[in-house]
Structure 1
């Protein structure tokens, strides 16, 4: 019997096209080869965050150091400060020798340093804290690069979310994109939630795209996603495969073909 039930695409054509265009923009503008070769999918477990800490400040400092390292930004002059210590700052001039991220990145000169802070309410929601730090670091990359994404200035926040995924933090980005507001009331803290500009379907599609670019199966990350996101990942992957099979973009084909 013919299967008359078709799986609906996860994203509309316009949204999918923007993600694919912005993915290629990120690849071209942010040391794509180095980033993809060195990038790992950072997961919310003890493999990536093994230490135990005893205070809000220690937790924030430890998570920030881990996230900065996984983002390949060890060489960047970025300091974590307490919320009451953050001050107005202008973006410094930074000069790197060769690549800007990873173990081989070398900062040649800097006209100053950068400060970022943290939300103390997120200490008990570590995935939100990790995702928020990754957003901040991705935003710094976009500011330093000064190249606008497809869609221009208005879509910079969305491009920041995509770049945070590109840097390895897509699982946490997807898991924290939507916050359930029901339940007993005492379990929900709106001040602890991160600010998401891409919704779950868009972030899941980006994850499927990154898995394809890394030639990894869906099972590599699916068990670490919230249960309702796993079926979305399958739909995203199916839509992506259909799109690639019909694409004439040689760069997209080359990035996603089996390696």
Structure 2
């Protein structure tokens, strides 16, 4: 009888397990030491993005620089170009001396050319979408460089890039930008400004909650959209129970408890 009053889990078991396996994949392949010692939960605040700008190009450049720094990828040969300048390109070979992220990340041999990425000018008035789009692009570049397929294989690469962007610390913005409400004023809504999310809101919130748990984060919840905070709280509760009952040494090693 009491089972009638138990709430359903946030995700199906196999969906939850994929996100957990993807976290493990990220730790094993994308610089666990940087994640442990330097990754921060990036918030949509002036403390993280303090720059004043006077043009679309300046906004795009400054945000790109901040996101690249927070991801630990400042040493990577990635350049931002205007949308009209972006051309088809072949991904060059990167060879790093030691770590692939952070201050210890140094290229041994300069690649034949830089990787060019661009921005969506429509996102200038939706900066969280701009941040999330950059984070997703950097995650895709990381995956391409490392060359290790995520859980589920090649067909899960787009979803894994979104999950990896959360691992890089951008889970708040990734969660907040999965879906944009039209609001009360139709003329204020610009569908062309929305990023193309590959994980649902619930999956993204769960992944962010997973990263937040291992980073012992106490503040990001209030920066999520109001309708996501309940999902985040529920995910936190489920993740704590899951880790406490887990025999996986990696999950236990990263647990803050």
User: How many residues align structurally?
Assistant: 255
2:116 is paired with a residue whose SS is strand
TM score, norm. by length of structure 2: 0.95
Structure 1 segments of 4+ aligned residues over 3 angstroms from their partners: none
Q: Is the 8 A contact 1:94 1:111 kept in 2?
A: no
Match in the other structure for 2:202: 201
Q: Is the 8 A contact 2:74 2:102 kept in 1?
A: yes
CA shift, 1:257, in A, is 4.4
In the TM superposition, what whole-angstrom CA distance separates every residue of 1:138-178 from its partner, at most 9, and x where no partner exists?
A: 10000001110000010000110011011111100001011
Match in the other structure for 1:123: 124
Q: What are structure 2's unaligned runs of at least 5 residues?
A: none
1:115 is paired with a residue whose SS is strand
Could you tell which deviates more after superposition, 20-29 or 200-209?
200-209
TM score, norm. by length of structure 1: 0.95
Match in the other structure for 2:105: 105
1:228-243 to structure 2, matched below 5 A, reads 228-243=227-242
CA shift, 1:253, in A, is 2.0
Alpha-carbon distance in structure 1 between the residues aligned to 2:213 and 2:221: 14
Alpha-carbon distance in structure 1 between the residues aligned to 2:137 and 2:208: 19
Alpha-carbon distance in structure 2 between the residues aligned to 1:20 and 1:61: 33
Match in the other structure for 1:170: 171
CA shift, 1:197, in A, is 0.5
Q: What are structure 1's unaligned runs of at least 5 residues?
A: none
CA shift, 1:182, in A, is 4.7
Match in the other structure for 2:94: 94
Q: Is the 8 A contact 1:35 1:101 kept in 2?
A: no
